[in-house]
């Protein structure tokens, strides 16, 4: 069943479908963390929440949302049309591994990705195909994402990713292997006394080694309300 929501931090609308994988808090946090500029690609854009959150940001020329699932990509395209943003956001219903056929090497300024968190075969797979593809490395892998990002990014171009703590070593090793230097990390904790369940990471193509930590983000107060920091992210105009 479809519904129309308001994109947090903007006046844009977004169509979502309960039967498909809708955006979560990780996409909101990533769109806030990403310092995007120039030509931007959102890998695994889903229904287009990250492009809709970022499109009004200064210094962005155009955003390409890449989504391999046809039905999900159709909703993303409808969301672009619903908000009359066809000249600023383009949805590409393609496999991200084919991006080098469409874009020249070193032509992209910023890449953002909220990838599948689960390694293929690493956990039970949801019976609904679109949920499974969104959560598990079935159609693509972390290695694919970082390798393609390295090819597409300009020198000193930036890659922003959200992932789970148990994959941190995989992410850092893949970044280094493909000449994307990890620069900033922010841990996300569900509550102040809970271990982090997400991290946000910025990497820079061809940069020198200099890894720094940003202030951790706590999502919920003890009473279940969002923290002030989280509310600011949801309400912040891009």
pLDDT at 131: 41
Residues 142, 71 contacting (CB under 8 angstroms): no
Residue 236 per-residue DSSP state:
-
Cα–Cα distance for residue pair 203/159, rounded to 1 Å: 5
Q: Would you state the pLDDT for residue 121?
A: 53
Instruction: Provide the pLDDT for residue 22.
Output: 81
Residue 128 has a CB neighbour count (10 Å cut-off) of 12
* Element of type H or E holding 170: helix 168-177
**What is the per-residue pLDDT for 124?**
46
Structure confidence at residue 220 (pLDDT): 96
90 vs 158: CA distance, rounded Å = 20
Strands 89-92 and 60-66: parallel
Topology annotation, domain 2-235: Rossmann fold (3.40.50)
Per-residue pLDDT of the chain (238 residues; tens, 9 = 90+): 789 999 998 999 999 887 777 889 999 999 999 999 999 999 999 999 999 999 999 899 999 999 999 999 999 999 999 999 999 999 999 999 999 999 999 999 999 999 988 676 544 444 454 544 445 444 789 999 999 999 999 999 999 999 999 999 999 999 999 999 999 999 999 999 999 999 999 999 999 999 999 999 999 999 999 999 999 998 876 4
Q: What is residue 1's predicted lDDT score, i.e. its pLDDT? A: 78
Q: What angle do CA 80, 86, 110 make, to 5 degrees?
A: 85
Element (H, E) at 87: none
Domain boundaries, the chain: 2-235
pTM of the complete model beyond 0.85: yes
pLDDT at 132: 43
Residue written as tokens 């390295």?
A: 150
Strand, coil or helix: 106: coil
Please give the Cα distance from 143 to 116 (Å, whole number). 12
Cβ atoms 20, 72 nearer than 8 A: yes
């Amino acid at each position: 069943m479809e519904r129309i929501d308001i994109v947090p931090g903007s006046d844009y609308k977004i169509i979502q479908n309960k039967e498909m994988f809708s955006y979560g808090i990780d996409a909101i946090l990533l769109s806030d963390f990403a310092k995007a500029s120039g030509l931007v690609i959102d890998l695994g854009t889903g229904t287009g929440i990250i492009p809709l959150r970022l499109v009004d940001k200064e210094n962005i020329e155009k955003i390409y949302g890449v989504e391999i699932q046809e039905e999900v990509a159709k909703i993303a395209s409808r969301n672009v049309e619903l908000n009359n943003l066809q000249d600023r956001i383009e949805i590409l219903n393609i496999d991200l591994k084919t991006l080098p056929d469409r874009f020249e090497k070193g032509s992209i300024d910023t890449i953002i990705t909220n990838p599948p968190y689960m390694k293929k075969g690493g956990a039970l797979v949801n019976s609904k195909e679109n949920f499974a593809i969104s959560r598990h490395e079935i159609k693509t892998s972390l290695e694919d994402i970082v390798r393609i990002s390295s090819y597409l990014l300009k020198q000193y171009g930036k890659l922003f990713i959200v992932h789970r703590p148990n994959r941190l070593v995989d992410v850092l090793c893949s970044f280094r292997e493909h000449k994307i230097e990890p620069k900033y990390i922010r841990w996300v904790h569900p509550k102040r006394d809970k271990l982090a369940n997400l991290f946000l990471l910025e990497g820079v193509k061809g940069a020198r080694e200099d890894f720094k930590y940003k202030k951790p983000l706590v999502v919920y107060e003890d009473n279940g309300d969002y923290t002030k920091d989280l509310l600011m992210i949801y309400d912040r105009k891009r």
